[in-house]
Structure 1
Amino acid sequence: MIERGETVPSVGIKLVNASGVSETTSDAVLGAGTVVFFAVPGAFTPTCHVNHLPGFLANAHKLRAAGVDRIVCASVNDAHVMKAWADASNAINDIEFIADGNADLARALGLAKDLSANGMGTRFSRSAMIVRDGVVADVFVEDAPGVSASGAPAILMALETAKV
């Protein structure tokens, strides 16, 4: 698993944002400024759709006030699903989305999780990171179902603690 002080890997991804869908690399998206990156097992899945994404959307202004330049959500879904989720959640203007359809980024970060027993294949572990100029400042990975360590309140607390 990627650790504090390591540089984010360069992996081909599709970026979904207010400008549309584009092909780019993970280091291009996560490599400049202060980025809050959070990863979910699946777009539209219950916990991701009802708890994880909405927390970041509701706190986007607080995250920006704390010095965050970019909020990015990733999932092992294709770009069409990520675009539909961004639109359905009204998040497209506040959060950018990485479609990691083949789980290449999830694997490169060491955050891939085998959910084949649930019919979901390889997915991201529910997690979040604070990345500063391409270097991981903090990593938060859930060790139980639900959203606590990787949710927006925990990230805001970590950002505030880092200021002290």
Structure 2
Amino acid sequence: MIKVGDRLPAGKLQEFIEVEGDGCSLGPNTFDVESLVAGRRIAIFGLPGAFTPTCSAKHVPGYVEKFDELRRAGVDEIWCVSVNDAFVMGAWGREQRTAGKVRMMADGSADFAKATGLTLDLSARGLGLRSNRYSMLVVDGVVKALNVEGPGQFEVSDAGTLLSQAKQILS
């Protein structure tokens, strides 16, 4: 499993783009993780699935709510990463009102989750291989803080915890 001090693995994530511009077409666009994090401070949180109870009621809304504070602390972008397709992540982002605050990044085949070692096998619940619930602060591609939840937990990957860490690390 990835740990503090490690570089994020190379890979691709997809994002559903609502408005064409800056070289991005409407619909799913594929982005290179290494390019997106180069020289940037990114708050990333991963979760098991779009439209699931804890993810929809607590995890995503917390990051939307703390957007301004995270930016003031020095975070350039916030990403939500889930093992869903870009269409689902786009629809969930619309419902959660994440536009301009949280990038809803799709890891459709769980390649990013596998590469980081942050997978969660929910096959017994009919969900297959998913992302574990976590948060991390990444500076220029290097993990500076990592908070991984235990199975069924939501105690350390919330926006408030990562905000506290960002204030310490980025100031």
Q: Same fold (TM over 0.5)?
A: yes
Counterparts in 2 of 1:163 and 1:90: CA distance versus 1, 3 Å: closer
Q: Which residue of 1 aligns with 2:169?
A: 162
RMSD: 1.5
Q: Which residue of 1 aligns with 2:108?
A: 101
SS at match of 1:50: helix
Amino acid at match of 1:156: L
Q: How do residues 5-154 of structure 1 correspond to structure 2 at under 5 angstroms?
A: 5-17=5-17, 19=19, 20=26, 21-154=28-161
Distance in 2 separating the partners of 1:111 and 1:81: 21
Amino acid at match of 2:5: G
Distance in 2 separating the partners of 1:105 and 1:44: 20
Kept in 1: contact 2:74–2:170 (CA 8 A): no
Q: Deviations over 1:123-161 (max 9, x none)?
A: 000001000001110111012424220000100111223
Distance in 2 separating the partners of 1:106 and 1:14: 13
Kept in 1: contact 2:45–2:134 (CA 8 A): yes
**Mind listing any 5+ residue stretches in structure 2 that lack a counterpart?**
20-25
Distance in 1 separating the partners of 2:120 and 2:38: 24
Distance in 1 separating the partners of 2:39 and 2:60: 22
Distance in 1 separating the partners of 2:37 and 2:17: 14
Could you tell which deviates more after superposition, 42-51 or 86-95? 86-95
Amino acid at match of 2:11: V
Distance in 1 separating the partners of 2:17 and 2:156: 26
Counterparts in 2 of 1:18 and 1:64: CA distance versus 1, 3 Å: farther
Distance in 1 separating the partners of 2:66 and 2:18: 19
Q: Which residue of 1 aligns with 2:23?
A: none
Length, aligned pairs only: 164
> What TM-score does the superposition give when structure 2 sets the normalisation length?
0.90
Distance in 1 separating the partners of 2:121 and 2:113: 11
Amino acid at match of 1:4: V
Could you tell which deviates more after superposition, 123-132 or 11-20? 11-20
